[in-house]
Amino acid sequence: MKVLLKKDVKGLGSAGAIVTVKPGFARNLLIPRGLAMPATAGLRQQSTQLKEASERRRLRELATARDLADRISATKIIFKAKAGESGRLYGSITSAMIADALEEAIGCEIDRRRIRLEQSLRELGDHEVTMHLEQEINALFKVRIEAEGELEKDMLTTEELEAAAVEQGVEESEEEE
C-alpha cells in the first residue's frame, strides 16, 4: 500500500515522501497516529508542499541550534566541590549537574542526555565538555571545578594575619628561651 507521510518517521522516510508499506502497518499504526495518509493522485501536489514545509522547519531548527551552540560555547561554568589534598573530588560532577548550571547560565532548557561526558568529572581544574545539539552541530564549553573553601583560605583579614604573626612570634620567643 502506498502512503504519503505527514511527519518524519524514523526508518521509513521524511515528511512528504510517498512510501510503500504493508497494509496492516498503514491501517493500524501510521494512519491512526496521523503519521501518514493513503496516497492518491491528488496527493502528489500535497506531497511537494509537505516536503517544502519539512525542509523549512529543518532549516529553522538548524539556525536555532547554531545560535544556541554559539551561546553555549561562550559560557564558562564554575562548580565548587569538596576535594582531597591530591585534587580528587569526594563526589563527582555529573551531566545532570552541568545541565542544570548551563540552564541557569543561558536561560534555556537543556537536556542532560545531550551532554557528552565519557565519565563524570572527578578532578579539580578546567574541563572541556561537548554538547550535541543537532546532527552536525556540537557546542564545546568549559567547566571549571574549584575546591570549596579555597577563597576563604586565601582571603584572610589583616587582623587574622596579625594574630597569626603574633602567635608565631610568641612561639619563636618561647623556643629561644
* Residue 175 pLDDT > 50: no
Q: How much is the mean pLDDT over the chain?
A: 83
Which pLDDT value is given to residue 163? 66
The residue with greater pLDDT, 159 or 108, is 108
Mean pLDDT of 115-143: 90
Which pLDDT value is given to residue 158? 55
Alpha-carbon gap, residue 21 to 27, rounded angstroms: 10
Model confidence pLDDT, tens digit, residues 97-120: 999 999 999 988 888 999 998 888
Closest CA to 86 of 124, 120, 121: 124
| Helix orientation angle between 95-106 and 43-73, rounded to the nearest 10 degrees | 90
Mean pLDDT of 118-142: 89
* Strand residues in the chain grouped as ranges (E): 2-5, 18-20, 36-38, 76-81, 88-93, 115-116, 121-123, 125-132, 138-147
> Do 141 and 110 contact (CB within 8 A), yes or no?
no
Q: Comparing 35-39, 86-90, 146-150, 156-160, which segment has the lowest mean pLDDT? A: 156-160
Q: Residue 86 — pLDDT band, cuts 50, 70, 90?
A: confident
- Give the CA count within 13 Å in the CB-facing half-sphere of 60: 6
> Do 88 and 70 contact (CB within 8 A), yes or no?
no
Mean pLDDT of 124-144: 90
Alpha-carbon gap, residue 169 to 43, rounded angstroms: 94
Structural domains of the chain, with CATH:
2-63 (3.40.5.10), 75-154 (3.10.430.100)
pTM: 0.60
Mean pLDDT of 13-21: 87
Model confidence pLDDT, tens digit, residues 32-84: 999 998 888 777 777 778 778 888 988 999 999 999 999 999 999 999 999 88
